Structure 1
Amino acid sequence: MCEKHNVYYRFTVLNTADQFPPFSAVGVCDDREFAHYSNEVEDWIRVNVNKLDRTVLLPEPYDPRDWYKDLLRTLSNCTHSQCSDLHVLQRIIGCELEKLPDGTVNLTVFDEYGFDGEDFMSFNSDTMKWIDKNPKAKETKEEWDHDTGRNQFLKNYLKDCVNTISTYNNTNMSRPDVFVFALKAAPDDQNKLNLTCLATGFYPRDVQMNIRLSKTNLEDQTSGIRPNDDETFQMRISVKIDRNYKGSYDCLLIHSSLTEPVTVVWDGKCSNCEPEPQWDVIGGAVTGVVLTVLTVIVIVIYFIYRGRRPNVCILKQRNHLLIKDA
């Protein structure tokens, strides 16, 4: 399984803002916010961090809020009082770690700037030089290339990303809950089922799941992953199967929060299927109904016959009397 992790800070600065704050910044690790800058208290606030965790996360870049505002004014060629047009400065600094199935690790570090929606500059930690991506960036590049203290700090700072990813994931990972169920594939087809495996509540995001038949991965599986409200994730995979085929279906899940893979076996039930006919029960019920009907018919005939018989006797007596009188 290819496993990816990232940690970064993202900054956004506006020179004029009516509905949005002029300065905003967040710290993110594997798509989960762990810190944000509060303009009210003018400081960083940690969030989503385990209270028992004593590890030190990636510190915020040392550049203060006013440094970003001054840089934006310089790039905009105006002071705050003279700027009427909206200008935007953006920065993202951090790293991404990718673990390949063969055990090798790829590390990508980045410190990139954008100005008014376009790429501006990026830092190359190998050459210790800045790369200008915009004609307006040439002057800034020359100035920052000569700032050796700043560049050395950035190089060391970006290397710390690897340790941050490891410590943050180890203290904030969540184990998944896994469910396997089946639904009819089509309203008019009782034979085809959609067999689904759902895993939810896991963190980090990377997970591997497969629906199997007799421990062999099935083909044509559809999958999708999405975030939960609590910043964990859920993943759903489905595959069409023949309901009448007899075999052992299960769902295999691999995640970094687990010491070993989890296997959940399908119980063979369909949640929205009509119950299969129980012919022995139905046959017994039909037999009972027939016997009941026959019994009722016999009783009715009996009472009809019994009700008519006294009348016949009376007629015979009357005939006898008439003959005798004659």
Structure 2
Amino acid sequence: MYVLPLILLSLDGVYSESHSLRHYYIGVSAPGSGLPEFTRVGYVDDQQTELYSSDTGRTVPVAPWIKENVAPEYWEDESKSDNEDEALFRHEVNIGINWFNHSEGFHFLQVKYGCDLRDDGSTNGYHQFRYDGRDFMYLDVPTATYIPTMAEAQITTDRWNSPDVRMGELEKITLENTCIETLKTYLKYGREYLERKVRPGVRVTGRESGDITTLYCLVYGFQPRAVDVKWVKNRIDDIPTDETTGVLPNPDGTYQIRVTAEVIPKDGDSYSCYVDHSSLEEPLLVRWEPKQHSPLAVIIGAVAIVLVFPSVVAVLIYRRKNHPYTAASNVGMREDEGHPGT
């Protein structure tokens, strides 16, 4: 069941301070794969707003601020539209299988459709297609022309660009008008939630293996999604990232990311995790401090003292009780020895 999120991430766009309305359509060739044959997921910025699945045959609101402001009749109309798209996608997936001569196996068709509204008031639209994760064709919005990125897409783009169809012109009008107006309406409903800023938490750790130390920086609980995280040496020198999880969603609507780097520490060098986020007045630099002492050795030493000390005390008491002289007689003996002849 983890295939669907991975497919969605493969269509992910560039995030900025502008706002976006995006729809992801996914059709698969194998009904027994554990995935719905057809899915549509709607997003405003990085927040899911709605979901349609062929398993249910209905479109439902997801974001609380969408549920509160959009009438039930709207979702009835959306369900009918998605029913029609489901039938279309089944047909298109089969066409793709024939074009690529795929007789069996798991294959999928993806479509990303949406628009951006930038802070300066300018807009941007996109209608992009992928087959099995590879770019297939896309709409060049300024010219209202579909461009093939695979030879197998040429037949479709020729038909959609033909004078009697002019699909690109119709989609250009929809993207530049209907899509933007819908985005503005959604922003009015959810602006308070969408534009909230939550400061990130940062946790740094390290693991030594021979001369190499692996540094981990976990940045968590931040909103919005856009963030810059990297390791730096001596507060200024960037360290190449060895691995990153990418930005991942949390159940509460915030995000997290972990960035890893491998270094060979030298005397005098310091390593810090650099974090820049819109919720911060200035970037954070969280320094990694190497461990000076092994906590395990300290614990073992403390336990040994606790265990040994009662035994030593017991031995001393035993010897004191069984010695022929008391403390007082010992003193008296030394005094007598100091005065011979008495």
Check the 8 A contact 1:169/1:204 in 2, yes or no. no
Q: Does the residue aligned with 1:4 lie in a helix, a strand or coil?
A: coil
Q: Give the whole-Å Cα distance in 1 for the aligned partners of 2:155 and 2:143.
A: 21
Check the 8 A contact 2:221/2:250 in 1, yes or no. no
Q: Does the residue aligned with 2:142 lie in a helix, a strand or coil?
A: coil
Deviates more, 1:148-157 or 1:164-173: 164-173
Matched, 1:36 2:56: no
Check the 8 A contact 1:88/1:115 in 2, yes or no. yes
* Deviation of the 1:123 alpha carbon: 3.0
Q: Which residue of 2 aligns with 1:178?
A: 201
Q: Summarize the alignment of residues 76-225 of structure 1 with structure 2, pairs less than 5 Å apart.
A: 90-95=110-115, 109-113=125-129, 122-131=138-147, 133-142=153-162, 143-145=164-166, 151-157=172-178, 159=180, 171-172=193-194, 173=196, 175-186=198-209, 194-211=214-231, 215-217=235-237, 219-220=239-240, 222-225=242-245
Q: Does the residue aligned with 2:125 lie in a helix, a strand or coil?
A: strand
Check the 8 A contact 2:200/2:220 in 1, yes or no. yes
* Deviation of the 1:211 alpha carbon: 4.5
Check the 8 A contact 1:128/1:155 in 2, yes or no. no
RMSD after superposition:
5.6
Unaligned runs of 5+ in 2: 1-13, 96-102, 327-342
Q: Give the whole-Å Cα distance in 2 for the aligned partners of 1:159 and 1:94.
A: 9
Q: Which residue of 1 aligns with 2:22?
A: 8
Q: Which residue of 1 aligns with 2:41?
A: 26
Q: Which amino acid in 2 is paired with 1:36?
A: L
Percent identity between the aligned chains?
18
Q: Does the residue aligned with 2:193 lie in a helix, a strand or coil?
A: helix
Q: Which amino acid in 2 is paired with 1:171?
A: Y
Q: 1:45 aligns with which of 40, 56, 60?
A: 60
TM-score by length of 2: 0.53
Q: Which residue of 2 aligns with 1:320?
A: none
* Deviation of the 1:153 alpha carbon: 2.5
Q: Which amino acid in 2 is paired with 1:198?
A: L
Query: What whole-Å deviation, never above 9, does each CA across 1:119-162 have from its counterpart, x for those lacking one?
Result: 77643321234446331453343343179666522332455588
Q: Does the residue aligned with 2:173 lie in a helix, a strand or coil?
A: helix
Deviates more, 1:25-34 or 1:15-24: 15-24
Q: Which amino acid in 1 is paired with 2:40?
A: A
Query: What whole-Å deviation, never above 9, does each CA across 1:29-72 have from its counterpart, x for those lacking one?
Result: 556532112557755322245579979xxx99999235435656
Q: Which amino acid in 1 is paired with 2:218?
A: L
- 1:263–1:155 CA distance, 2 compared to 1 (3 A): closer
Q: Give the whole-Å Cα distance in 2 for the aligned partners of 1:217 and 1:164.
A: 45
Q: 2:284 aligns with which of 263, 266, 283?
A: 263
Unaligned runs of 5+ in 1: 78-84, 307-326
Query: What whole-Å deviation, never above 9, does each CA across 1:192-221 have from its counterpart, x for those lacking one?
Result: 755543211224432113445664345345
Bigger fraction of residues in strand: 1
- 1:115–1:126 CA distance, 2 compared to 1 (3 A): same
- 1:275–1:125 CA distance, 2 compared to 1 (3 A): same
Deviates more, 1:126-135 or 1:263-272: 263-272
Q: Which residue of 2 aligns with 1:64?
A: 81
Q: Summarize the alignment of residues 220-231 of structure 1 with structure 2, pairs less than 5 Å apart.
A: 220=240, 222-226=242-246, 227-230=248-251
Q: Give the whole-Å Cα distance in 1 for the aligned partners of 2:131 and 2:241.
A: 43
Aligned residues: 271
